[in-house]
Amino acid sequence: MERVEKFLKDAGTYYLATVDGDQPRVRPFGTAHVFEGKLYIQTGKVKDVSKQIHANPKVEICACTGADWLRVEGTLVEDDRREAKQSMLDAYPSLQGMYSADDDNTEVFYFQDATATFSSFTKEPEVIKL
Ligand SMILES: Cc1cc2nc3c(=O)[nH]c(=O)nc-3n(C[C@H](O)[C@H](O)[C@H](O)COP(=O)(O)O)c2cc1C
């Protein structure tokens, strides 16, 4: 789990793919935070990405650093607890200008039934169940 979080933080940006009917959607994301042993991401309820996750929580993310890339596929589960949101905002102080744990917009999701695959041009893929 920590290895996945570190890879995502080192990459800085990853790309989050959702399903919108029969249309894939992808956008850059940056939030990745381990809380209570689970990998969380953060978004805002007003965004299309949030609506897509609620309609179909199966997602995949992809990040790369140099010749290595990581994909995480799984199902996102919303965690509505204040402490989960606050932990994310504490990990990303830059978000605190736009989001707060008590607004009606901030939401955090954790990965459930997730599989992380570390890939490289030079090594065999390594698959880890989260
Ligand atoms: C480097 C980078 C990181 C981002 N990280 C996040 C993030 O962690 N959460 C988020 O909700 N939006 C993040 N965004 C903004 C989303 O990409 C943007 O709001 C996007 O339009 C959301 O997707 P949607 O239009 O399908 O709703 C980030 C943007 C960039 C450029």
pLDDT above 90 (res 123): no
Condensed to tens digits (0 to 9), the pLDDT of residues 36-45 reads 999 999 999 9
pTM of the model: 0.97
Q: Stretch 88-99: mean pLDDT, rounded?
A: 96
Cβ contact 129:111 at 8 Å: no
> What are the pLDDT digits (tens) for 65-74?
999 999 999 9
Average pLDDT over residues 27-38: 97
Give the model's pLDDT for residue 70.
98
Q: What is the dihedral of CA 10, 29, 79, 21, to 10 degrees?
A: -140
Q: Which of 39, 48, 36, 45 is nearest to 8 (CA)?
A: 39
Ligand 1 binding pocket includes 30 (Cβ within 6 Å):
yes
Task: Tell me which of 16, 19, 25, 27 to substitute to probe ligand 1's pocket, judged by most ligand atoms within 8 Å of the beta carbon.
Answer: 27
Please tell me the predicted confidence (pLDDT) of residue 77. 98
* Ligand 1 touching residue 42 (CB < 6 A): yes
How far away, in angstroms, is 121 Cα from ligand 1 center? Answer: 28
Q: Is pLDDT of 1 > 90?
A: no
